[in-house]
């Protein structure tokens, strides 16, 4: 099966596609737009996803991921550049995956929760920028699939790193 860019975004106005893909002015005007998109993703997680369970986050992430594939891929076409830095919807929709499972195991304090968010943000930025291993390979997928897949993999690598760190911390 060959992955192709979804056709449904072709019918949307350019202002809407680019507005969603760049989060309005955030991706267009802020320095380091990927960092700002990741920060927006943390806020999105706290406001919309934290109350959800594990399965609900997976379902929401799959649906939002497909939406982001369509929008980000169409933005890439309309901007005439491969994976433009201003396109940050992919960071936003990937970020909740960094925190999968944390609602079940903690943290139990507000400061612990802030530390978890900060660690998740930092580790995600590391994986998103450095793109080690398969994360870099996924970026080569066509259109929006590559734009979203590498961030999804970076988020899952972040999640695994956070859980591994938590497990090692408990051993000490």
Tell whether the model's pLDDT for residue 171 goes beyond 90. Answer: no
Tell whether the model's pLDDT for residue 162 goes beyond 90. Answer: yes
**Pairwise pLDDT comparison (169 vs 24), residue with the higher score:** 24
pLDDT at 105: 76
Cα–Cα distances (Å) from 18 to 61, 79, 167, in that order, read: 21, 9, 41
Tell whether the model's pLDDT for residue 3 goes beyond 90. Answer: no
Burial of 12 per CB tally in 10 Å (0-12, 13-18, 19+): middle
How does pLDDT run across 9-53, given as a tens digit for each residue? 999 999 999 999 999 999 999 999 999 999 999 999 999 998 898
Query: What's the mean per-residue pLDDT of the chain?
Result: 94
| Other C-beta atoms lying within 10 Å of the C-beta of residue 41 | 28
pLDDT at 102: 86
Is residue 128 within 8 Å of 151, Cβ to Cβ? Answer: yes
pLDDT confidence of 97, banded at 50, 70, 90? very high
How does pLDDT run across 107-137, given as a tens digit for each residue? 778 998 999 999 999 999 999 999 999 999 9
pLDDT at 169: 85
> Exposure string (b/e) for 81-100, b if CB count within 10 Å is 16 or more?
eebbebbbbbbbbbbbbbbb
Mean pLDDT of the region 84-91: 96
For every residue of the chain, DSSP letters joined together read ------SGGGGS-HHHHHHHHHTTHHHHHSSSHHHHHHHHHHHHIIIIITTS-HHHHHHHHHHHHHHHHHHHHHHHHHHTSSS-TT--HHHHHHGGGGGTTHHHH---SHHHHHHHHHHHHHHHHHHHHH--THHHHHTTSSHHHHHHHHHHHHHHHHHHHHHHHHHHHHH-
Tell whether the model's pLDDT for residue 8 goes beyond 90. Answer: yes
């Amino acid at each position: 099966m060959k992955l192709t860019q979804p056709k449904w975004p072709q019918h949307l106005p350019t202002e809407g596609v680019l507005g969603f893909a760049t989060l309005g002015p955030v991706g267009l005007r802020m320095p380091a737009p990927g960092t700002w998109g990741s920060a927006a993703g943390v806020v999105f997680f706290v406001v919309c996803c934290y109350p959800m369970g594990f399965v609900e986050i997976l379902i929401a992430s799959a649906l939002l991921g497909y939406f982001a594939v369509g929008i980000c891929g169409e933005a890439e076409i309309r901007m005439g550049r491969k994976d433009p830095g201003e396109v940050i919807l992919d960071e936003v929709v990937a970020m909740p995956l960094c925190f999968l499972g944390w609602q079940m195991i903690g943290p139990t304090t507000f400061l612990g929760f802030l530390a978890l968010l900060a660690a998740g943000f930092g580790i995600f930025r590391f994986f998103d920028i450095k793109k080690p291993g398969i994360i870099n390979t996924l970026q080569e997928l066509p259109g929006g699939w590559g734009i979203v897949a590498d961030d999804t993999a970076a988020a899952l690598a972040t999640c695994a790193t956070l859980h591994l760190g938590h497990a090692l911390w408990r051993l000490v």
